[in-house]
A and B are shown apart, each in its own frame.
Chain A
Amino acid sequence: EAQVTQNPRYLITVTGKKLTVTCSQNMNHEYMSWYRQDPGLGLRQIYYSMNVEVTDKGDVPEGYKVSRKEKRNFPLILESPSPNQTSLYFCASTRDRGDEQYFGPGTRLTVT
């Protein structure tokens, strides 16, 4: 089954404790993205990747890092999480620009 998986689905952590949210897709897609969704602010792109070792900033990259060492995986790293990064995070992938995007189930992160 074609899918995007994210782990963990729920995470509660403390300020400053490094964490990684994993994202994996099994569709051999070139493009992958990370979004965060906050009430009243909609979905905002954090980082995206056009292929292995090619990444670029989205609209809200501050405080986040990503890597794309393999085509299928696109982890999101928070080196020093802060409470304003409490949010619902989605990973997405697409075969090509403008094609339909497949979203993961989401990771609900709380930073205290």
Chain B
Amino acid sequence: DAKTTQPPSMDCAEGRAANLPCNHSTISGNEYVYWYRQIHSQGPQYIIHGLKNNETNEMASLIITEDRKSSTLILPHATLRDTAVYYCIVRFKAAGNKLTFGGGTRVLVKP
């Protein structure tokens, strides 16, 4: 699985959009980008995933650059409950069900 690089932490104002970057310059053609988050010691929660097209669901949007070497997770209107560690994972869909979490980005949403 390709390695990812995320900033260790970032702050965001409540009600504003939070843009979380992820670099995955060694991603291969069939690897997907997944985002999960973990609110303090709770079970990780799936957010969104994509291959090359931008994706949106009720939680967030995922923007993948054309060369697929980086992506951005957008939380459109951050709330205090969005304070969590966010993990960007790149993996093949058929690689089994093992998830490997890197360091992630610790997001603090401030009032």
Contact = CB atoms under 8 A, between A and B. Distances in A.
B44 interface: yes
Interface residues of B, number: 23
Interface in A41-70: 42-43, 45, 48, 50, 58-59
A105 B42 CA distance: 6
Contact of B32 (A42, A92, A94, A98): A98
The binding surface of chain A is classed by DSSP as strand
Interface string A15-51: 0000000000000000101010000001101001010
Contacts of A92: 43-44, 97, 99
Interface of A: 4, 31, 33, 35, 42-43, 45, 48, 50, 58-59, 88, 90, 92, 94, 97-98, 100-106, 108
